[in-house]
Structure 1
């Protein structure tokens, strides 16, 4: 019988080169897609971290504004100022000029988390419908509490001895409501340092203090947030106070732009409106 030789065929050099080129192209596109996916995951992680870092400051500011004395919020663009409210209730008698006036002021003691004795030195406001009545030297609707004592004849009442000149309130509140107020607080965006700073322990002023004034006069300065990227010259004002209408009281609009210092592609804008529910 005749033997048959098996024929074995291999790949030619051209075929091998074509396969190598195709595999290289496929690998390049595969790694490219993997790189895009990794970049997306990293950006999402950076934004999530950025939101988590700034959430505390925005939430605290929201709570402080909602607890402010009504009509005390005012803004000059870079800074927001308001007077924290320590308590509120109704009064029974109010020091007024003329024969119908009484002194001291008798009020229904509001529920307070602090000792009422600590109210000495703070403010009591009656029908302060404009920031000028709250901050200026005009003391016709804002008085400083010189002393406070429980009214023995009736439980739940307190007598306030007031300081200042004039010593009487020149108008009543239609609802006979009063507010206890603390020294003012300001939140400012420092564009040079990219920080949101809270200022406190400074004196009342008829003109709202700016950032430079607060840096030199405020007794307490706290950095509440970093990586703040508001461009004030481009109109990115962080604070806008909207005047009250017949349907609502003060409304404060907040806008913050945050950019991560570690990842410039991680950016986030926060727009929020805070409603101050109280009325004078």
Structure 2
């Protein structure tokens, strides 16, 4: 019996193994460079989308409130804040008999009928304003130019516990209802700037404070404030109000710049505000 032994060896040499490892490493580095860039781009895009949505959400909220502003009530201490009186309802008052007529002597009287019922009856303590012009003698920021709703008011007849002093008659016979609990609203930008590629400012909606007749400075809120936060990471923020006349709307220009992790977005919005009292 004869046996044949093959001396052929199969497998990798050490040199071949090293070459394969080196080539595989090079391919991995090249592949990683192609993969990491789209991933970074996706992250950047996500950050920009989040910033844009945050700014858009804040502007939508402010626009919604500003469309309810009492005509001629928007005012500014400086470009970092804006204040106005917000309305909850409005209608036309009865100007001639029969019925309870709105009076325009030294006071408005204490009872008047509504032409076309309101959506709901005003609450005790709500304010009634007629023909606010935002000037001395016709300024709703002055307590004497706001009537106060009393008991037993309905959506068709309103009783006033405190009459309006020296009211001016509205050519359109219009009146507005302001919420008694929180008629004044301010949008305030605070701490605006940047640090290490991130915006440091915040935008707040401030309410539930007493009406101040004289225009002062922008509110300064504490760090632990409970006022609603509309946006953060602000690197820039400004409000610019251009008052209109009774023939056209006023315009509030809002500019917001947000910065986060080096990504930035800037949004600009003009909000038309009716100043027809």
Structure 2: how far apart are the matches of 1:247 and 1:90? 19
Counting helix residues as a fraction of each chain, which structure ranks higher? 1
* Residues 124, 181 of structure 1: 8 Å contact kept: yes
Alignment pair present for 1:241 and 2:241: yes
**Correspondence list, 1:199-214, <5 A:** 199-212=206-219
- 1:220 is displaced (CA, Å) by 5.8
Q: Which residue of 2 aligns with 1:89?
A: 91
The aligned residue for residue 158 of structure 1 is 157
- The unaligned stretches of length 5 or more in structure 2 are 1-21, 95-100, 193-199
Q: What CA distance in whole angstroms lies between the structure 1 residues aligned with 2:108 and 2:235?
A: 54
TM-score, normalised to structure 2, is: 0.72
Which of 269, 273, 276 is 2:270 aligned to? 273
CA distance in 1, matches of 2:273, 2:219: 27
Runs of at least 5 residues in structure 1 that lack an aligned partner in the other structure: 1-19, 151-155, 231-236
Cα separation, 2, equivalents of 1:187 and 1:228: 14
Deviation at 1:77, TM superposition (A): 1.4
Structure 2 counterpart of 1:10:
none
* Matched positions, count: 235
Q: 1:269–1:58: structure 2 CA closer, same or farther, 3 Å change rule?
A: same
Q: Match of 2:128, SS?
A: strand
User: Is the alpha carbon distance of 1:246 and 1:33 closer, same or farther for their aligned partners in structure 2, counting shifts above 3 Å?
Assistant: farther
How far residue 126 of structure 1 moved from its aligned partner, in angstroms, is 0.8
Using structure 1 for the length normalisation, give the TM-score.
Answer: 0.71
Displacement of 1:135? 1.2
CA shift for structure 1 position 107: 2.5
The residue matched to 1:208 in structure 2 has which SS? Answer: coil
Q: Which residue of 1 aligns with 2:121?
A: 116
Structure 1 residue 272, shift from structure 2 partner: 0.5
| Correspondence list, 1:16-31, <5 A | none
